[in-house]
């Protein structure tokens, strides 16, 4: 049984870098961690030179000495493979290992993640260092698991080296067989891009207006994902042969151009995420009305679609920034606890903070951990100890799962197509934000689901699926959705659905293409809404909605029913919403992108809004998340506001943190949290 995520206990950890500190403080650090509630540390993920200081010369004393102390103190260890930071000797001798930018210039030694996944020599040297580390350390008592690399595809998710072009050709030969097929899939007849020899095919390079063939770029992203996955699998296959029974293999972070679901399925025991909620400050300037740190619940929901119960490998515990970029404020009093509970509420049974001591050198001198440079007692270590006390009262939650009846459906084809297609990305971004915010503000628990990694049973856990803009549709997805609807499910589609094939080429059937029959819809015309000048209104049987970003003029066919129509401008009188009864369920085709109000109206009309309203009345600024299992259901109430909030209770509930039954109402202080047994 693995030490963490075993369904039995919630566990706290921290990231530690023995190589950054004098050996004389190791023991004291470990003891202080243990006294503060830390049971696990993650180490070694950037320390290649400590075990292979010169090519082919292996030295193990450094980590042996440190791990001896861990064994002695009973500190558990997650050991990282060091491939995110190749040593200087390596890239100097084998420059083909370096990643290259779109202009053909290599990224040099001096930062991190400057390698590519495909250079054969890097794969061989990776294989060797991982084998050596596993051979030497895997049987250590203190080691409980392994982290592969660090944040695959972080910093950059684009690769343009010669090794990548060579591997891309192999990837394409495998996918298409012949150049004729490749030319067809990429539509190379357009602008005379036809290839007549494989050597002419490269990973994307600099083009006029950066307008590289979109079908080529879509395949390129698939290729980057396959490369990262294969690099991860190369390491996991080695580790599997050496690890002790019960030890696990994972990797951390959720980055783009990477099918994290498939990577987890083929190489990992579970996924871990790195959560820095005050990054919201960099993203939206911390607008007072924005979701701010609460927005991180969206990433956590996405992580949950990969591993229903997951770990947080790095969680923000101080002010953050590199010396060159990024600035995120320190957690205010209570926020470290709030974010820990946010992670747990969404399915984390392990939370590890980044990092124990703040680095005194390097790019991350401002990336504060729990302790500041001096290491003296401070507010954050006091809060860590309090988190541990709180966790002790929540242990019953371990192993339960986030409970939701509504899911937002995605798939990688469409995520990646939207990255390079403005028309697609504008509607996707708007709708995802809107549906997530509507669910948050109405206290409707929401899951994410990647449909290509789900089966009918997985779909049937939900009463309603929002699949907002699947521009690329396949027969397999349509068949799965149809079976779900026939058996009683409801699927809501938005505009721009099913007008592309898997290559990202537009289909010539009547729109919405492969969904025309399932939705009994016919799209007669479509266009953008001019931002700031045009407002387009919709009437849905008395509910006045506003269209956003885009309009499909959609009319019912067969036994489809026109539920709503546009009521303004030249659209007035055209269909805006079509429903279709199929078997026991129903589809909706909504001819525009969702804004928060429209998403709320759907949640209400479909009877899935605020499912705990008969027990709890929760203010908008507080998130409600529920984890449920055989042992019961637990409601997490998370107050993201810098002011107290009151949650009214319709019946008495046991409050786990207060260890008492509360009646009438529960007061949450600023950034406060309550966990109620329902």
Of 150 and 260, which CB lies nearer to ligand GAL in the complex structure? 150
Could you tell me the two tokens for 53?
A: 């200081």
For ligand GAL (CB under 6 A), the number of binding residues is 8
Of 46 and 526, which CB lies nearer to ligand GAL in the complex structure? 46
Nearest distance from C-beta of residue 316 to ligand GAL, angstroms: 9
CB neighbour list of residue 378: distance below 8 Å, 6 or more residues apart? 370, 371, 372
Helices (H), 44-119: 48-51, 61-73, 88-93
Of 150 and 655, which CB lies nearer to ligand GAL in the complex structure? 150
What gap in Å lies between CA 112 and CA 47, rounded to an integer? 12
Of 274 and 417, which CB lies nearer to ligand GAL in the complex structure? 274
Residue range at the interface with ligand GAL (CB under 6 A); choices 47-55, 90-98, 146-154, 394-402? 146-154
Could you tell me the two tokens for 61?
A: 């004393």
What gap in Å lies between CA 74 and CA 620, rounded to an integer? 44
Could you tell me the two tokens for 436?
A: 């997530």
CB neighbour list of residue 457: distance below 8 Å, 6 or more residues apart? none
Nearest distance from C-beta of residue 612 to ligand GAL, angstroms: 35
Could you tell me the two tokens for 520?
A: 């009994």
Of 60 and 255, which CB lies nearer to ligand GAL in the complex structure? 255
Among 314, 421, 432, 623, which residue sits at the site for ligand GAL (rule: CB under 6 A)? 314
Of 271 and 354, which CB lies nearer to ligand GAL in the complex structure? 354
Nearest distance from C-beta of residue 479 to ligand GAL, angstroms: 39
What gap in Å lies between CA 97 and CA 102, rounded to an integer? 16
Across the strands, what pairs with 465?
Answer: 407, 491
Tokens 């698991």 belong to 145
Nearest distance from C-beta of residue 664 to ligand GAL, angstroms: 43
- Helix (H) or strand (E) holding 222, with range, is helix 214-242
What gap in Å lies between CA 263 and CA 152, rounded to an integer? 11
367 part of the interface to ligand GAL, by CB under 6 A: yes
Residues 217-256 vs ligand GAL: string with x where CB under 6 A? ----------------------------------------
Dihedral angle, C-alpha 370, 374, 376, 382, nearest 10 °: -10
| Contact indicator for 555, 524 with CB cutoff of 8 Å | yes
HSE-up of 547 (CA within 13 Å, CB side)?
Answer: 34
48 part of the interface to ligand GAL, by CB under 6 A: no
Among this protein's residues, is 364 annotated catalytic? no
- For 453-484, the DSSP string reads G--HHHHTT-SEEEE----B--HHHHHHHHHH
Nearest distance from C-beta of residue 154 to ligand GAL, angstroms: 6
150 part of the interface to ligand GAL, by CB under 6 A: yes
Of 151 and 349, which CB lies nearer to ligand GAL in the complex structure? 151
Residues 333-362 vs ligand GAL: string with x where CB under 6 A? ---------------------x--------
Of 269 and 364, which CB lies nearer to ligand GAL in the complex structure? 364
Residue range at the interface with ligand GAL (CB under 6 A); choices 147-155, 261-269, 408-416, 420-428? 147-155
In three-state secondary structure terms, 250 is: strand
149 part of the interface to ligand GAL, by CB under 6 A: no
Of 354 and 412, which CB lies nearer to ligand GAL in the complex structure? 354
Could you tell me the two tokens for 114?
A: 């400057």
Residue range at the interface with ligand GAL (CB under 6 A); choices 150-158, 199-207, 216-224, 561-569? 150-158
CB neighbour list of residue 288: distance below 8 Å, 6 or more residues apart? none
What gap in Å lies between CA 539 and CA 572, rounded to an integer? 10
Q: At what angle do helices 26-35 and 61-73 cross, to 10 degrees?
A: 30
Among this protein's residues, is 262 annotated catalytic? no
Which of 251, 248, 346 is closest to 303 using CA atoms?
346
For the CA atoms of the chain, what is the radius of gyration?
Answer: 26
Residue range at the interface with ligand GAL (CB under 6 A); choices 133-141, 148-156, 194-202, 550-558? 148-156
Q: Considering 52, 216, 314, 563, which one is annotated as catalytic?
A: 314
364 part of the interface to ligand GAL, by CB under 6 A: yes
Which of 322, 252, 313 is closest to 282 using CA atoms?
322
Residue range at the interface with ligand GAL (CB under 6 A); choices 50-58, 149-157, 488-496, 607-615? 149-157
Which of 596, 658, 645, 587 is closest to 616 using CA atoms?
645
Tokens 């400050």 belong to 281
CA distances, 574 to each of 300, 553, 567, 605, 661 (Å): 39, 6, 8, 22, 55
Which of 625, 605, 500 is closest to 563 using CA atoms?
605
Q: Is the dihedral of CA 61, 66, 68, 69 positive or negative?
A: positive
Of 166 and 359, which CB lies nearer to ligand GAL in the complex structure? 359
Of 275 and 307, which CB lies nearer to ligand GAL in the complex structure? 275
What gap in Å lies between CA 539 and CA 528, rounded to an integer? 19
Nearest distance from C-beta of residue 231 to ligand GAL, angstroms: 17
Nearest distance from C-beta of residue 374 to ligand GAL, angstroms: 20
565 part of the interface to ligand GAL, by CB under 6 A: no
552 part of the interface to ligand GAL, by CB under 6 A: no
Among 12, 98, 130, 154, which residue sits at the site for ligand GAL (rule: CB under 6 A)? 154
Q: Considering 151, 302, 596, 623, which one is annotated as catalytic?
A: 151
Among 151, 417, 447, 610, which residue sits at the site for ligand GAL (rule: CB under 6 A)? 151
Nearest distance from C-beta of residue 151 to ligand GAL, angstroms: 5
Could you tell me the two tokens for 115?
A: 């390698």
Among 39, 247, 259, 274, which residue sits at the site for ligand GAL (rule: CB under 6 A)? 274
Give catalytic residue positions: 151, 314
Residues of this chain that interact with ligand GAL (CB under 6 A) are: 150-151, 154, 274, 314, 354, 364, 367
């Amino acid at each position: 049984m693995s030490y963490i995520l075993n369904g039995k206990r919630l566990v706290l950890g921290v990231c530690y870098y023995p190589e950054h500190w004098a050996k004389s403080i190791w023991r004291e650090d470990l003891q202080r961690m243990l006294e503060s509630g830390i049971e696990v540390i993650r180490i070694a993920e950037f320390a290649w030179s400590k075990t292979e200081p010169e090519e082919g010369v292996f030295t193990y004393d450094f980590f042996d000495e440190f791990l001896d102390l861990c064994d002695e103190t009973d500190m558990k260890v997650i050991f990282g493979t060091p491939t995110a930071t190749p040593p200087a000797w390596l890239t100097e001798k084998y420059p083909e290992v370096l990643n290259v930018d779109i202009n053909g210039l290599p990224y040099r030694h001096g930062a991190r993640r400057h390698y590519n996944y495909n250079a054969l020599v890097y794969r061989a040297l990776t294989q060797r260092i991982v084998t050596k580390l596993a051979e030497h350390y895997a049987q250590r008592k203190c080691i409980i698991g392994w982290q592969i690399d660090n944040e695959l595809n972080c910093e950059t998710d684009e690769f343009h080296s010669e090794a990548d072009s060579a591997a891309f050709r192999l990837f394409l030969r495998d996918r298409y067989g012949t150049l004729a097929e490749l030319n067809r899939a990429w539509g190379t007849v357009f602008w005379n891009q036809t290839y007549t020899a494989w050597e002419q095919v490269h990973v994307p390079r600099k083009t006029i207006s950066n307008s590289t063939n979109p079908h080529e770029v879509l395949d390129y992203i698939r290729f980057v994902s396959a490369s990262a996955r294969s690099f991860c699998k190369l390491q996991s296959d080695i580790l599997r042969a050496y690890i002790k029974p019960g030890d696990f293999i994972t990797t951390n972070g959720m980055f783009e151009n990477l099918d994290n679901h498939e990577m987890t399925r083929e190489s990992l025991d579970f996924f871990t995420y790195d959560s820095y909620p005050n990054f919201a400050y960099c993203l939206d300037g911390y607008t007072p009305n924005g979701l701010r740190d609460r927005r991180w619940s969206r990433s956590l929901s996405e992580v949950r679609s990969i591993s229903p119960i997951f770990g947080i490998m790095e969680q923000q515990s101080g002010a953050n920034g590199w010396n060159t970029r990024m600035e995120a404020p320190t957690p205010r009093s209570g926020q470290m606890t709030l974010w820990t509970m946010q992670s747990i509420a969404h399915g984390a049974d392990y939370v590890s903070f980044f990092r124990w001591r703040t680095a005194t050198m390097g790019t991350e001198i401002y990336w504060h951990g729990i302790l500041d440079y001096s290491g003296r007692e401070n507010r954050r270590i006091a809060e860590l100890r309090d988190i541990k006390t709180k966790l002790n009262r929540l242990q019953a939650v371990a192993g339960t799962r986030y409970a939701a009846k509504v899911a937002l459906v995605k798939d990688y084809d469409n995520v990646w197509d939207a990255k390079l297609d403005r028309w697609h990305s504008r509607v996707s971004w708007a709708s995802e934000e809107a549906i997530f915010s509507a669910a948050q503000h109405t206290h409707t628990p929401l899951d994410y689901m990647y449909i290509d990694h789900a089966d009918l049973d997985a779909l049937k856990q939900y009463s309603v699926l929002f699949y907002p803009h699947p521009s690329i549709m396949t027969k397999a997805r349509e068949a799965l959705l149809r079976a779900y609807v026939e058996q009683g499910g409801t699927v809501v589609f938005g505009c721009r659905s099913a007008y592309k094939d898997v290559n990202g080429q537009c289909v010539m059937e009547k729109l919405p293409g492969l969904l025309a029959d399932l939705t009994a819809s016919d799209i007669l015309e479509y266009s953008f809404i001019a931002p700031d000048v045009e407002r387009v209104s919709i009437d849905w049987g008395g509910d006045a909605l506003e269209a956003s970003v885009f309009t499909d003029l959609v009319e019912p066919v067969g036994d489809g029913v026109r539920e709503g129509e546009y009521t303004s401008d030249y659209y007035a009188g055209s269909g805006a919403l079509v429903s279709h009864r199929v078997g026991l369920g129903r589809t909706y085709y909504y001819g525009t992108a969702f804004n928060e109000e429209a998403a709320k109206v759907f949640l209400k009309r479909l009877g899935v809004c605020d499912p705990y309203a008969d027990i709890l009345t929760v203010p908008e600024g507080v998130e409600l998340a529920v984890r449920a299992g055989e042992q019961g259901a637990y409601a997490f109430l998370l107050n993201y506001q810098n002011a107290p909030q009151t949650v009214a209770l319709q019946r008495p509930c046991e409050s786990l943190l207060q260890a008492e039954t509360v009646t009438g109402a529960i007061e949450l202080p600023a950034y406060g949290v309550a966990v109620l047994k329902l």
